[in-house]
Amino acid sequence: MAMDPLFHACLQLRHGHWEKGMQKLLSCTQSSTKNDLPMLFNISHPLLRRFICQNVIHKSDSIELFYRVYGNLFELQTAFVEPINAIQVLDDLSSFLFLLSEKVKTVEPPWNCLSDECCLVMFRTVERLLSCLTKDALLIVYSSEQLPLLSHICSTALEMAEFSRSRAVRVQALQTIRHLAQPISRGDCMVAERISAVVAQLLPGVSQSLYRIVTGDSKIGSTVKEAAFDSWTATFLAVFGHTLEPETSCITFNRTDDPDAQLFTDGWYTRTRNRVGKLIQLTVDNLLHVQLELDWEESHRLSTALVRWLTCILTECPVLLQTSVGLTIRDAVVGALIAMAAESESSIPDPVDRPASSRQLAHRALTCFVQSEQVVEVQPTCLPIPQSVTNSRLIRKIATTSLCGQVNSLISLCPNLLDETQLQKRLRTILGYLNFLDAESLSVLVSSRDLFHRLCTSLADLLCFNTSSVELFNDPPQLDFLSSSSFVRARNTMQTVHLFTKSFTAFRDPKSLRLIQAIAGRIAGQENTVDLFLGTCRDVMMLQTGGILRNSCILLITAGLSGYLANGKS
């Protein structure tokens, strides 16, 4: 290692020539070997602190240079930073952020006066620092005494993740949150418990902020939302990632007498399950029916991140799924995974061979949940629902319950329908559940006479003609797109005769018609359901005054019979 440049850098820093000194020191860190970085840190850290502790708001470029030097010093990412030095680096950052809030008079967040590159470097340095802490340093940093310090840095990172104009800054801030929750592997029980206790106290604010990000406007971008899901996953693992004893299926706490690890009482878990469970259910509903495009792979990154998050909750956070509240969370998570896994069973042929990563992940998560053993490998070219999953009575029960919930949502949606895309997403989810269910489960749905009658009525309402128009499309060749009206696999396409063209009051996109026809065909495609389906459609036709749903019910009956005939060919 060249000592002369280091000597000159230290000399410049001692005399207050900060820019020149930090530039020379940056060059030293770049030219030194990684094994020299701990020694360089011990030499330069006391001198660098004099710059940041001046109670002066330095230029953004100077702050960026300052943290770029620290970032290079922590590049080794091996435990060498001792407790006092770790606290000093974090405290200096917190003090600087407080100084900004005191002296920068603006309605914007105080960090907004810093450049995007400065914010990036600042939180990248924090992320690297967390990877360089010794065990003693971790126990000190993650203690109740230092909780205000971590809370301040965490809240600033969340604020940047939510409001920064730079997508790169948002992603980096979220990565810092993830490393705050899991700076190390969970191998060391004492350290893991201490981290878990501290992260648990940050959980409410972190969860609320991450929920707003993942359910926010699409302009936020799937990259940012993916990073938010990954941070949320790490947070859940830190707090709820306990194991179950195989003999008793009881939660293993392994708690010590450490006063910082005494947060996890039964009352705390009860309150937390209630609050977290509501956020999970709201997130699932928002992602499935508002954010994700009709075709999952159009939002491939976001759908994959959602499946990873759901899988973590289902398979790695058993403590979150205990008691009746936990079972509600479990059912919501499993229902969402079923909806995404069932997309591979779509009855609507897709000529494009799309990637199926998120669907594979959902399949594997459900298989693990059912079998609790080695995951069944799923070939990317063929994605049938694993037999062990469809044979699970619990899975069928959850799928049926979720389907009924989606039907009720569709029924409440229809009278106030404004957005056809929202209708298609709801129909697509219902079709996915129907494709997942076996004949016995479909019989349960059809036997629920009141619910099934309301479903058929809603589908018929959607098929009401717009009598003021006689054409569904301006382009006649597109009429062929409407010809598929049955529940079919790609290998069994059955088409009904196209006798006339009418536009519909509720929609204009042919995909909506195809989805409704596919739902009718799937329900009526079984020997034990076709008669009840046809009878219910006739009841709906007769009960409506003036016969206003007569033509709609005829369309439903035609689609149902087509599905039944197609199923007989398979």
Distance of CA 125 to the CA centre of its chain: 26
Instruction: Find where tokens 């998570």 sit.
Output: 333
Main-chain dihedrals φ then ψ at residue 544, nearest 5 degrees: -80, 125
Number of helices (H), then strands (E), belonging to the chain: the values are 23, 2
Compute how many other C-beta atoms are within 10 angstroms of the C-beta atom of residue 321: 20
The mean pLDDT value of the chain amounts to: 80
Q: Taking Cα atoms as reference points, which of 118, 97, 120, 121 lies closest to residue 109? A: 97
pLDDT digits (tens, 9 = 90+) for 10-68: 999 998 899 999 999 999 998 888 888 999 999 999 999 999 988 888 889 999 999 99
Biggest CA–CA distance in the chain, Å, is: 97
Distance CA 421, CA 549 (A): 23
State pTM to two decimals. Answer: 0.78
Ordered DSSP codes for 470-518: --S-SSGGGGGGG-B-S---TT---B--------BSS---HHHHHHHHH
* Residue 463, token pair as written in the block: 């098929």
* 473 pLDDT more than 50: no
292, two tokens = 């994700």
**Number of other residues whose CB lies within 10 A of the CB of residue 189:** 12
Q: What is the pLDDT of residue 467?
A: 63
Neighbours of 263 (CB within 10 A): 17
pLDDT in tens, 405-441: 888 877 776 656 556 777 888 888 888 888 878 788 7
Looking at residue 311, its pLDDT comes to 93
Q: Give residue-wise pLDDT tens across range 93-118.
A: 999 999 888 877 777 888 988 999 99
Q: Where are the domains of the chain?
A: 265-437, 441-569
List Cβ neighbours of 142 (8 Å cut-off, separation of 6 or more).
Answer: 150, 191, 194, 195, 197, 198, 260
Chain segment 497-521, per-residue pLDDT in tens: 444 455 777 777 788 888 889 999 9
Structure-token pair, residue 492:
């069994």
287-328, pLDDT tens digit by residue? 887 776 544 445 788 888 999 999 999 989 888 888 888 888
